[in-house]
Structure 1
Amino acid sequence: MKKLYILIILLCLSAHAQLPQEIKITGGKISGVTNNDISIYKGIPFAAPPVGNLRWKAPQPVKPWRGVRECIAFGASPMQGEPVPFSMWSQEFLIPKSPISEDCLYLNVWSGTTAPTEKRPVLVWIYGGGFAGGGSGVPIYDGAALAQKGIVVVSFNYRVGLFGFMAHPELSKESGHKASGNYGLLDQVAALKWVQQNIAAFGGDPANVTIAGQSAGGMSVTYLIGSPLAKGLFNKAIAQSGSGFFREQPALAEAEKQGAELAEKLGAKNMADLRKLSSKQILDAQGGIRRPVIDGYVLPSGLAETFTANKENPVTLLTGWNENEDLFWGEFKDAAGFTQQIENEYKNNAQKLLTLYPANNDVEAEQAQLDLSRDRQFGIPEYSLIKAQLQRGTAYVYRFTHVVPATGEYLKYRASHTGEVPYTFNNLGTVDRPWADADYTLADTMSNYWVNFIKTGNPNGNRLTQWPAYTDKQSMIMEFDINPEAKPLPDKARLDFLQAMMEKE
């Protein structure tokens, strides 16, 4: 009886997950699993482990292996602090508690193809986390549901924090490019090159690649658009709640100075000493070093300058942000206090700004602070990207306004930062929330728009409500709530005013 029971279990498991055929890629052969007709490969190395003497070096070629490498579990998340839920981010939005390691350069593939000749469109996902955290093993990034809709999904890890973004004079000298500080972005370029070289083996089309990301992932998307190293590696881009426009980035000299000061703080006389330190010693000392650098190599200039000089990589763009993603960490001021703050900060522009963000009473003042915080952090960077894109390409713009169902402490976050991601991945089942049927319908609809864009560069089709391309004259966006609707950008007057002020600074 016991043997029969075991046999039944094995038969049930084989019906849902079986090893697919071996696939040969850069480095050797791999195998994965198949679940609901989707072949899944996790933890594929795309570069050598950036440890020891490879710490703070550009990603190096992967070391070949013998036999068949079983790729059925995510690789370690990049080195960072322990994932602890905070603010609107419950555990489902965070990396697994383990493993976390400097040995993190692994990627994952979800594909429903049955033959390499299919050439399905490819989505390459870049996670957020403020360039200080994050990883591809986050539950909401699972690619199976999108792969079910006819695309190949790739996600990967890149180095974050001090491990990914430290510059130093010695590092610049040894690089061969007189540059340092953008190792996390170099990891992203390496992953995209891996896709070009290997994705056909998974039934993907290397000539039809969309890069996409949210928050710091969205910023990464725009930095890749601006990087000459990423030329020819993608033709479409999705930037969700993140753009590198008007983001403060240190110049190389400034970043090198920060790195040298850190080395002195750690008692390291040279780079050899720094590379001997433990991961924990580095992590504990990193402070605020976690931003991409204008290094003259990966990023020759800021994005605004790159677009002005017509040196960006051409793409069709889909971008937008959420209604309530104001990352407001301070204390709210009352109406008088907010008015005084605006007058002190904006001088001659204060009265106009108070017309756009009224604060006639304390309730209005609180909402004005939330709206202004959102527009400064997300609206203006995204809006500036859209305006630059329109000079030479097409842009589709959205606003996610749907209040994400929640209980307890999460009720207050509404259409918050990252709230749209489970919908665009059609992954509501990965998040513990009181979802209604309307949520599942919205997730199916949003993911259909995203998949259409990934396939063709146009989100429309499949009898979806028409999503017009954005123009300065019409300024039409798609608003995603229970019933998605195309309408004019509601904050255009605010954003025009803020952008004009920032351009004068």
Structure 2
Amino acid sequence: MKFIIFLALYFTSILCADQYPTVVTSNGIIQGILESSGVRSFKGIPYAQPPVGALRWREPQPPNNWNGTLKADKFGPAAMQRKIFSDMILRSNGISEDCLYLNVWTPNKSGNEKLPVLVYFYGGGFKAGDGSEARYDGESMAQKNIIVVTLNYRLGIFGFYSHPELTMESPNYSSGNYGLKDQHAALLWVQKNIEAFGGDAQKITIGGESAGSFSVSAHLASPLSRKLRLNGAIAESGSMLAKSGLSPVPLSVAEQVGLKFSKSIGASSLADLRAIPADKLLNMTASTSFPTTIDNHFLVEYPLTVYEKGNQIKVPLLSGWNSAEVEYHSLLGRDEPTLTNYKKVVKQLYNEHAGDVLRLYHAETDADVPKVATDLAADRFIVYNTWKFIDVHSRTSGSAVYRYLFSRKRPPYKDIGAPHAPEIDYAFGNLRYNKFFNWTSVDYEVSSSMLLYFVNFIKIGNPNGQGLAFWSKLQNKPPKVMDIDENIQSRPEKNRARYLLLDSLESKMNNKI
């Protein structure tokens, strides 16, 4: 009888160990869950100390150790943020200033697999977003024998506030960019611990979309990244290599933004600012944005300068944008898309250079305007700065660059093209989580191919593989771009003249475009 009880307990322990896998990290033991797919997930792992109290607006600090086993079976809290984007559906454990947690999906069984790793930064304009969003779920990718890590980082005033007193108290004589430094701290944690999950610390690819893509371009330019052994980069729609809303400003400029804000709310000291409850402080920033910064620590030069010198981290890059990142409304506002209204707006924006713009963004009739104005609006919004990143990296890194254009419209296919962000669902193999669209078999086929391209790139720095249309390096002659739509195919690069025009106008118009 005792023997039967012993066997029952033994096999129960084996079953539980498989159902609730454990990993020993540098800070303690964590217990995850076994998904039905066989992937092991670990959610809500602290990678830094909570940035609260005296640690508000300080560089992320190494996490504290814990005793016993930490359950990692649910996502940690999202960073403080307002509901800005309707397509962001968080699965997080609420919203909190205590938000520095990451998630790991791994197919490993023994911990000795040495699998390649993707660390992915979410988008949201550095104001919103969360690593728990279903579109970033790593289970589908992990089934292809890679490890996926998503993470939360500080946003808005909590992640990007600069102030002269913060600069003075910093050991790095720096302030701002705390959200980017959070990402760096997460990368250090991954490098230190990922082998326990079956990963290879020598094969880490960083990726991101929108603000996450801006982040990728910044990490490759940061002197802190020299400490990392990055293996590749994926950048979807965005970079810091042009003067746009998410690109860095001088520290002195950011400090003045911070001073102006503190005066506007009657805060006379850092102690006053740190004493304001997080939810109240968040509400106070509804009409204020806080820029990324040349902060003398994470960034010491403009990223464009770093890339033009060839001083960036030289890794293979997979990058691109969507065919209609924003539509013509962002250019024309409430005006009707007529030829008259289009020309009027272009002349207002570009003055004496309007003729050059109208020549390359040419509309003959009113019927042409929605498409042409969408092209211009999208290029101004995010396409140009993404192109700039790809173009300079392809010329100065000596590394392979693969460029895509994501053209797949979502059902019911009424959009002018593919808007900002839907490629994430396709690339991560997560269409099933998005219930807003009636996906077709073609959508799932496109997703399957895009997922494989991304997985191959993460594994070997090259997206090509068996059963996939060949993806040519951008540096090959003639340069080609992978058009991702119902019929995925490599096409000659086009519209370069548009981007070269915007490139010249950026300096000619004193950065007003």
TM-score by length of 2: 0.90
Secondary structure, counterpart of 2:293 in structure 1: coil
Deviation of the 1:144 alpha carbon = 0.3
Verify the 8 A CA contact 1:28 1:66 in the aligned structure 2.
yes
Work out whether 1:402 is the aligned partner of 2:408: yes
Equivalences for residues 70-89 of structure 1 within 5 A: 70-82=71-83, 85=86, 89=87
- Kindly indicate whether residue 464 of structure 2 is the aligned counterpart of residue 463 of structure 1: no
Task: For 1:101 and 1:262, locate their aligned partners in 2 and report how far apart those are by CA, in whole Å.
Answer: 22
Residue of 191, 203, 208 corresponding to 1:208: 203
Does 2:427 correspond to 1:428?
no
- Correspondences of 1:365-376 after superposition (within 5 Å): 365-376=369-380
Offset of residue 122 of structure 1: 0.2
Whichever residue aligns with residue 356 of structure 2, its letter is K
User: Please, which of 237, 240, 245 is the counterpart of residue 241 of structure 2?
Assistant: 245
Structure 1 position 114, deviation (Å):
1.3
**Which SS does the other structure have where 1:479 is aligned?**
strand
From the superposition, tell whether residues 171 and 23 of structure 1 become closer, same or farther in structure 2 (CA, over 3 Å): same
Q: Which moved more, 1:204-213 or 1:93-102?
A: 93-102
Structure 1 residue 385 corresponds to structure 2 residue 381: no
**Does structure 2 retain, via aligned residues, the 8 Å contact 1:192–1:233?**
no
Partner secondary structure for residue 118 of structure 1? coil
Task: Indicate the SS of the match to 2:320.
Answer: strand
Matching of residue 102 in structure 1 with residue 101 in structure 2:
no
Residue in 2 that maps onto 1:7: none
Counterpart-to-counterpart distance in 2, 1:241 and 1:194 = 26
Alignment size in residue pairs:
484
Match of residue 479 from structure 1: 483
Query: For 1:104 and 1:319, how far apart are their aligned partners in 2?
Result: 29
Map Cα deviations across residues 126-183 of structure 1 (whole Å, 9 max, x no partner). 0000000000011111100000001000000000001000000111011111110110
Cα root mean square deviation, aligned: 2.1
Give the superposition deviation at 1:429. 0.5
Task: Report the residue type matching 1:288 in the other structure.
Answer: T
Q: Aligned match of 1:229 in 218, 224, 237?
A: 224
Task: Name the CA distance, whole Å, in 2 between partners of 1:351 and 1:254.
Answer: 34
Structure 1 residues 300 and 70 mapped into 2: Cα distance closer, same or farther (>3 Å)? same
Greater CA drift, 30-39 or 19-28: 19-28
What's the CA shift for 1:367?
2.3
Question: 1:424-450: per-residue Cα shift (whole Å, max 9, x none)?
Answer: 001111001211111111111000000
Aligned to 1:4: none
**Aligned-pair CA distance for 1:95:** 2.0
- List aligned pairs for 1:343-382, cutoff 5 A: 343-382=347-386
Unaligned ranges ≥5, structure 2: 1-13
- Does 443-452 or 381-390 show the bigger shift? 381-390
CA distance in 2, matches of 1:216, 1:118: 32
1:190-339 map, 5 Å = 190-231=185-226, 232-248=228-244, 249-286=248-285, 287-326=287-326, 328-329=329-330, 330-332=333-335, 334-339=338-343
Cross-structure match for 2:26: 26
Deviation per CA, 1:352-389, whole angstroms, max 9, x where unpaired? Answer: 32121123322222322211011122221111111111
Task: Assess if the C-alpha contact under 8 Å between 2:325 and 2:420 holds in 1.
Answer: yes
Q: Which residue of 2 aligns with 1:154?
A: 149
| Alignment match of 2:183 (pick from 183, 188, 207) | 188
- Say whether the 8 Å CA contact 2:21–2:34 is kept in structure 1: no
Please state whether the residue corresponding to 2:249 is helix, strand or coil.
coil
The residue number in structure 1 matching 2:9 is none
User: 1:213 is paired with a residue of what secondary structure?
Assistant: strand
Contact 2:138 2:148 in 1 (8 A): yes
Q: Is the 8 A contact 1:342 1:350 kept in 2?
A: yes
Change in CA separation of 1:419 and 1:425 when aligned onto 2, cut-off 3 Å: same
Cα-to-partner distance string for 1:184-227 (whole Å, 9 max, x where unaligned): 00000000000110000000001001000001010011011111
1:42 CA drift (Å):
0.1
CA contact (8 A) 2:56 2:274 kept: yes
Q: Given the superposition, is the C-alpha separation of residues 406 and 291 from structure 1 closer, same or farther in structure 2, using an over 3 Å criterion? A: farther
- Residues 160 and 290 in structure 1, CA contact (< 8 A), matched pair in contact too: no
Structure 1: distance between partners of 2:426 and 2:455? 12
Alpha-carbon distance between aligned partners in 2 of 1:348 and 1:314, rounded to the nearest angstrom: 39
Cα offset, 1:484, TM superposition: 0.3
Q: What residue in structure 1 maps to residue 6 of structure 2?
A: none
- Cα distance in 2, alignment partners of residues 148 and 42 from structure 1: 17
Pair 316,84 (structure 1): closer, same or farther in 2 beyond 3 Å:
closer
Amino acid in structure 2 at the alignment position of 1:196: Q
- Conserved? CA contact 1:166–1:289, under 8 Å: no
Contact 1:262 1:285 in 2 (8 A): no
Cα distance in 1 between the residues matched to 2:92 and 2:150? 19
CA contact (8 A) 1:110 1:153 kept: yes
Paired with 2:17 and 2:444, the residues of 1 have a C-alpha distance of: 25
Paired AA for residue 214 in structure 1: E
Tell me what 1:9 maps to: none
Report percent identity of matched pairs: 37
What is the CA–CA distance in structure 2 between the aligned matches of 1:334 and 1:465, rounded to whole Å? 39
Task: Go from structure 1 to structure 2 and tell me whether the alpha carbon gap of 1:113 and 1:447 turns closer, same or farther (over 3 Å shift).
Answer: same
- Give the counterpart letter for 1:241 in structure 2: S
Superposition deviation, residue 326 in structure 1: 1.5
Could you tell me which runs of 5 or more consecutive residues in structure 1 were left unpaired when the two chains were aligned: 1-13
Structure 1 residue 234, shift from structure 2 partner: 1.4
> Residue type of the partner of 1:71?
A
CA 475–44 in structure 1, closer or farther in 2 if over 3 Å, else same: same
* In 1, Cα distance between equivalents of 2:426 and 2:341: 38
Of residues 450, 470, 480 in structure 1, which corresponds to 2:454? 450
Q: 1:348 deviation in Å? A: 4.1
Tell me which residue corresponds to 2:4.
Answer: none
| Deviation at residue 288 of structure 1 after TM alignment | 2.8
What does the per-residue CA deviation read over 1:251-276, in whole Å, with 9 as the maximum and x for residues that have no partner?
11111111112112222221111111
Query: If the length of structure 1 is used for normalisation, what is the TM-score?
Result: 0.92
* Structure 1: distance between partners of 2:460 and 2:199: 14
Q: For 1:17 and 1:84, locate their aligned partners in 2 and report how far apart those are by CA, in whole Å.
A: 40
